[in-house]
Structure 1
Amino acid sequence: MGPQPPAPPATEDLVIRATRIDDPQAAPLLAELSEEYTARYADISDEMTRFPASDFAPPHGVLLLLLRDGVPVAGGAYRRYDHRTAEIKRMWTAADSRRRGYASRVLAALEAEAARGGYARLYLITGPRQPEARALYLAAGYTPLFDLAADPETIGPLPFDKALPPAGRGEGRQ
């Protein structure tokens, strides 16, 4: 058994806040995400600028930040993919905050937000060199749209989707 992740402090204050992708508070997480993409995939310089910030803004998109004691430690966004589908993008947990379940919290909040926004389905693509992301989506009930037995490097981008239940009453951001 490998090293155990540090336990979150019993008194930590976690809040999910909806914002825009160009919010200065999101900048450190997005910069770290860009560095990670570059380290894993070399030249993917256009990935972080491929979509305009407006794609991740209401009414068709959102960026959620998970704040721990007021500091962003994880985040994720979605954008409109088609009239019934939102596409998850920009999922990230700060390197010093991993293995604490924060990505799962952000993903669940994105799912609830997308359902409230009228979407019936989520779609996403992760890279073949991101086994932790692949594991997160499988654990969260996403259906892989590729052969799980194949070597991810032979597949390329790994697409997933998930049907969303209709938004219920009383659901809200954490």
Structure 2
Amino acid sequence: MDIRVVAFDHPDAAKLTAEVQQEYVRRYGTEDETPVEAAEFALPRGLFLVGYLDGVPVASGGWRVPDGSKTGLSAGDVELKRMYVAESVRGRGYARAMLAELERTALAAGGRRVVLETGTEQPEAIALYRSSGYGEIAAFGLYSDTPESRYYGKALVHH
């Protein structure tokens, strides 16, 4: 998989974001309504990545520096958003590759901890994060009072 930095509002990113929103509708009955703006996913405060197979966009993910005053998160935290792998290519390690690249780029940009919110209807995501060294953290953001929501974090370290 060829992973490239793209703008959050790039057509390939928009296509995958629409697909992940439909995945949320299938699993939870509604889209993720967390406020997200394209500018949040531009360096130095964020980044958005799309993974391609033979030129076709099949995976996405981004990170942004959250507003700590609104979320209660700490300086140095970066939040993962819109992690997604197209259904037709799941089970091939692309999510793990995307996660590793998101962590690498967040660390390079000065991030100290990756945080994210997922949910009980995404057991494969929970398994990916747990097997990648993420541990449960305190709830934050729009869905912090939602029983199905789960929150994970991982310290980023230089190797």
* Fold-level similarity (TM above 0.5): yes
For residue 24 of structure 1, the aligned residue among 11, 16, 22 is: 11
Q: Which whole-Å CA distance do the structure 1 matches of 2:21 and 2:31 have between them?
A: 9
Aligned to 2:53: 68
In the TM superposition, 1:1-174 aligns within 5 A as: 14-44=1-31, 46-47=33-34, 50-81=35-66, 82=68, 83-145=75-137, 155-166=147-158
How does the TM-score come out when normalised to structure 2?
Answer: 0.85
SS in 2 for 1:106: helix
AA partner of residue 26 (structure 2): A
CA drift of 1:44 comes to 3.3
Q: Which whole-Å CA distance do the structure 1 matches of 2:149 and 2:80 have between them?
A: 14
Contact 2:40–2:65 (Cα < 8 Å) also in 1 = yes
Q: Which whole-Å CA distance do the structure 2 matches of 1:141 and 1:135 have between them?
A: 10
SS in 1 for 2:65: strand
Q: Which whole-Å CA distance do the structure 2 matches of 1:65 and 1:29 have between them?
A: 8
CA drift of 1:45 comes to 5.8
Contact 2:22–2:31 (Cα < 8 Å) also in 1 = no
1:87-135 residue CA offsets vs partner (Å, 9 max, x unmatched) = 0010000010100000000000000000000011110010121101000
SS in 2 for 1:34: helix
Query: Kindly, what percent of the aligned residue pairs are identical?
Result: 41
Q: Which whole-Å CA distance do the structure 1 matches of 2:22 and 2:155 have between them?
A: 31
1:12-45 residue CA offsets vs partner (Å, 9 max, x unmatched) = xx21101111001212211110111111111336
Query: What is the number of equivalent residue pairs in this alignment?
Result: 145
Compute the RMSD of aligned alpha carbons: 1.6
How does the TM-score come out when normalised to structure 1?
Answer: 0.78
Contact 2:119–2:150 (Cα < 8 Å) also in 1 = yes
> Which runs of at least 4 in structure 1 moved beyond 6 Å after TM superposition?
none
- Unaligned runs of 5+ residues in structure 2 are 69-74, 139-145
CA drift of 1:52 comes to 1.0
Aligned to 2:71: none
AA partner of residue 69 (structure 1): D
Q: Which whole-Å CA distance do the structure 2 matches of 1:137 and 1:34 have between them?
A: 20
AA partner of residue 127 (structure 1): G
SS in 1 for 2:45: coil
